[in-house]
Amino acid sequence: MKGIFPIEKLERIQTPFYYYDSEVLRTTLSAINSEIQKHEGFVVHYAIKANANPGVLRLIREAGLGADCVSGGEIEAALKAGFASNKIVYAGVGKSDWEINLGLDNDIFSFNVESIPELEVINQLARLKGKVAKVAFRINPNVGAHTHANITTGLAENKFGIAMQDMETVIERATQMENVKFVGLHFHIGSQILDMGDFEALCNRINDLQTQLENHHIRVGNINVGGGLGIDYQHPNRVPVPDFKAYFDTYAKKLKLRPGQTLHFELGRAVVAQCGSLIARTLYIKEGTHKKFCIIDAGMTDLIRPALYQAYHKIENIGSEEPLEAYDVVGPICESSDVFAKQIDLNRAHRGDLIAIRSAGAYGEIMASQYNCRKLPQGYMSDEI
């Protein structure tokens, strides 16, 4: 089963480029809103690091989601796309002064703080502006996730967050400062998580930490559990929308929210991955000694995940209905790691055929580079071409 693409329209666009199916994105956003409306106090912020294409951001903002940013540039992108500043949260282990000032000037909802030195700088910069910055402390829960080592974030060995044993000290420090206000706790254990047991483990840890804080008469207004929900890279046509019901139900059942608390989520990949495909054109079919290569005009500069994470993406020859043949699908970059897949079945490929690399809406266009002096790929919404 292959995806459905407007091939005649795509043929007119210079490859490689990103193609975003607006209808898939709208369906995904509708599924998110349908689920969170069942649970009082659930709020979703879209993690802009997954994809900052203006057309994608427009649809997400229209659906009412907030924005999760990890840089000043992402804050600017969120504001330009029309996200309300009071629905923007700003995380990141290394916030520079100009980025903090940007958040202060726009009165964002909260800074997710990762260290005491950062807290002190935010307090100082807020004082210079005569403002009070709302802060949530990112706590490293030391909870492992069943995912790739490069995208796990919740272990004690990771660079992210404040150690659990320092939590009360940091909160106490904040209460002594005049220009910051403690508003919540923030957690994030990793990405591409499909085992709900990982999220249950996080819930259990947060429950224990909340009890610990309440024993010291510390109340938390907001709990932010990050994101991390994965998608089905194997079957983008059969499973275009992630299992949001299981995800949100896990937190509803396992996390013991206190009266009046708001629960924040920061979903990225699960929102946009399945709506996007990298469209490339076949340059050559090369007969090797032991295998056949399908050489396309997209490379690791356009989609780095296979080279960086050994990530799988379903690949389809949308320009052919001929019998299947086995190919290594490779790009033009002068690196041996510029390989999208090895020995996969494609409809027999010819020079000029369009190739779709699926589930590329997250961490695709946004991570593209100009290595080898290549042009950055453009992104197109299906309802705009």
What is the pLDDT at residue 158? 53
Judgement on whether residues 289 and 356 belong to the same structural domain of the protein: yes
**CATH number, domain containing residue 72:** 3.20.20.10
Q: Give the residue from 247, 273, 299 where a domain finishes.
A: 273
Predicted TM-score (pTM) of the model is 0.94
* Structural domain includes residue 15: no
Judgement on whether residues 220 and 329 belong to the same structural domain of the protein: no
* Structural domain includes residue 129: yes
Judgement on whether residues 78 and 197 belong to the same structural domain of the protein: yes
What is the pLDDT at residue 336? 95
What is the pLDDT at residue 156? 43
* Structural domain includes residue 5: no
> Per residue of the chain (385 residues), what is the pLDDT tens digit?
899 999 999 999 999 999 999 999 999 999 999 999 999 999 999 999 999 999 999 999 999 999 999 999 999 999 999 999 999 999 999 999 999 999 999 999 999 999 999 999 999 999 999 999 999 999 998 875 544 444 344 344 455 689 989 999 999 999 999 999 999 999 999 999 999 999 999 999 999 999 999 999 999 999 999 999 999 999 999 999 999 999 999 999 999 999 999 999 999 999 999 999 999 999 999 998 889 999 999 999 999 999 999 999 999 999 899 999 999 999 999 999 999 999 999 999 999 999 999 999 999 999 999 999 999 999 999 999 9
Domain limits for position 55: 22-273
Judgement on whether residues 50 and 67 belong to the same structural domain of the protein: yes
Judgement on whether residues 280 and 186 belong to the same structural domain of the protein: no
Count of structural domains, the chain: 2
What is the pLDDT at residue 288? 85
User: Phi and psi dihedrals of 106, rounded to 5?
Assistant: -100, 5
Judgement on whether residues 210 and 307 belong to the same structural domain of the protein: no
Q: Give the residue from 239, 273, 307 where a domain finishes.
A: 273
Choose among 49, 38, 27, 25: nearest CA to 228: 49
Q: Give the residue from 249, 273, 297 where a domain finishes.
A: 273
What is the pLDDT at residue 154? 38
Judgement on whether residues 250 and 340 belong to the same structural domain of the protein: no
Judgement on whether residues 139 and 40 belong to the same structural domain of the protein: yes
Judgement on whether residues 266 and 336 belong to the same structural domain of the protein: no
Judgement on whether residues 293 and 331 belong to the same structural domain of the protein: yes
Give every CB contact of residue 354 below 8 A, 6+ residues apart in sequence: 5, 7, 10, 11, 15, 279, 280, 281, 282, 317, 318, 319
Judgement on whether residues 51 and 161 belong to the same structural domain of the protein: yes
**CATH number, domain containing residue 343:** 2.40.37.10
Give strand ranges (E) for the chain. Answer: 17-20, 42-47, 66-69, 88-90, 110-113, 133-140, 162-163, 180-186, 222-224, 262-267, 276-287, 292-296, 315-317, 324-330, 339-347, 354-357, 378-381
Judgement on whether residues 261 and 283 belong to the same structural domain of the protein: no
